[in-house]
Amino acid sequence: MSVLKRVGMTAMAVAALVVPAGVVVGTAGPAAAKAATTQGCPYGAVCIYPQNAGWNGGHPSHFYYSYGAHNLSNMVGVHRIYNNQSGGATTRTCTGYNGTGCQGYLPANNYIDKDMTPINSITLQR
């Protein structure tokens, strides 16, 4: 088995351990291992795609680059979140504003389809 496949499987196993039940998690595939834009999400960013649109043809609706909390507004229903940051950088969804009440960790090069109705902020951290 190639190193990339083992790394992808390890990342997916880690994501399965830290993501709440009832959500879909996956890796973005071998292309995500390269420092490049993937599914329209620039390298180094966390992207959120429109409601019920999956990858939306590679057109995210929100981009986040800086570490820390980012408040959300008017985001309801299921959205895909893709972490295209590097290495050990993670992102979390939070029920409170300003990064309070956070849940799970989404590792770099992974995505999740999540009901954002109760979510009011996300955080990016290393």
- What pLDDT sits at residue 87? 83
> Structural domain boundaries of the chain?
38-125
Its pTM stands at 0.74
**Amino acid 52: pLDDT:** 98
Q: The CATH number of 38-125 is which of 2.40.50, 3.30.70, 2.60.20, 3.40.50?
A: 2.60.20
Question: What percent of the chain shows pLDDT beyond 70?
Answer: 72
Say yes or no to pLDDT of 122 above 70: yes
Select from 56, 47, 48 the least CA-distant residue to 116: 48
Report the amino acid identity of residue 32. A
